Amino acid sequence: MTTSPRQRLSPDTRREQLLDLGVRLFATRTLDEINIDLLAEEAGISRGLLYHYFGNKQDFHEAVVRRAIQDLIEVTGPVDEDDLMTRMMISLRNYVDYVTANHTAYVSIVRAASSGNETMHAIYHDALTALIDRIWESSTPEELAAAGIPDTPAIRLLARGWAALTEYVVLAWIEDDRGMSQDELIGNLALALAGIASAVRGGTSD
């Protein structure tokens, strides 16, 4: 171990700062529109140094998408509320706010995940799974039973399908709100999940 004569940011911290900037640039741009050159210009440092931190363009894009998804998972994280439905409504509101504020980037991630790039698909799919499986992981069995969302393979699969529904509906609502307020949108999405769980629970024997 050596001690540096003056305080310097560790390479990891510096990389994190640059990644933060990359994610901020990404919010209003597509993946194709952000690259090492743009980041170098905005950060005022050399392209060479950025390639040192991020490798090639593909690695840089993956790092930015991982960070953006990590932000999404954090802002929609479980809050300290007793009621499962209240927690879900707050998470949904934070999701809608995030997708609205980062619309271009979000659409770009969805496209990258669907385009046949296996790494992007895996990052996106893991995030979707994590976001939804959190419903069961952050709740007690009693709460889940009371909310009518027991843990069965069928309901877990349908809940992931509900995440696809939610993504579709929120993106369509941002384009044309059809006279629905954000409160109505969020209420409808939460009710849809409850309706799905209730219908499936009543309709199968497992």
Q: Does 144 contact its own copies by CB under 8 A? A: no
Q: Does 132 contact its own copies by CB under 8 A? A: no
Shortest spacing between CB 57 and its own copies, in angstroms = 17
Contact 160, 202 (CB under 8 A): no
Q: How far is CA 74 from the centre of its chain?
A: 8
Q: Does 167 contact its own copies by CB under 8 A? A: yes
Site pattern 87..116 for its own copies (x: CB under 8 A): -----------------------xx-xxxx
Q: Which is nearer to its own copies, 5 or 153 (CB)?
A: 153
Q: Give DSSP secondary structure letters for 133-191.
A: HHHHHTS-HHHHHHHT----HHHHHHHHHHHHHHHHHHHHHHH--TT--HHHHHHHHHH
By CB atoms closer than 10 A (0-12, 13-18, 19+), residue 80 is exposed
Query: Structure tokens of 50?
Result: 């950025």
Shortest spacing between CB 206 and its own copies, in angstroms = 8
Site pattern 174..193 for its own copies (x: CB under 8 A): ----xxx---x--xx--xx-
Largest CA distance in the chain: 69
Q: Which is nearer to its own copies, 5 or 116 (CB)?
A: 116
Q: Does 26 contact its own copies by CB under 8 A? A: no
Q: Does 162 contact its own copies by CB under 8 A? A: yes
Q: Does 166 contact its own copies by CB under 8 A? A: yes
Q: Does 6 contact its own copies by CB under 8 A? A: no
By CB atoms closer than 10 A (0-12, 13-18, 19+), residue 120 is buried
Q: Which residues bind its own copies (CB under 8 A)?
A: 110-111, 113-116, 153-154, 157-158, 160-169, 172-173, 178-180, 184, 187-188, 191-192, 194-200, 202-204
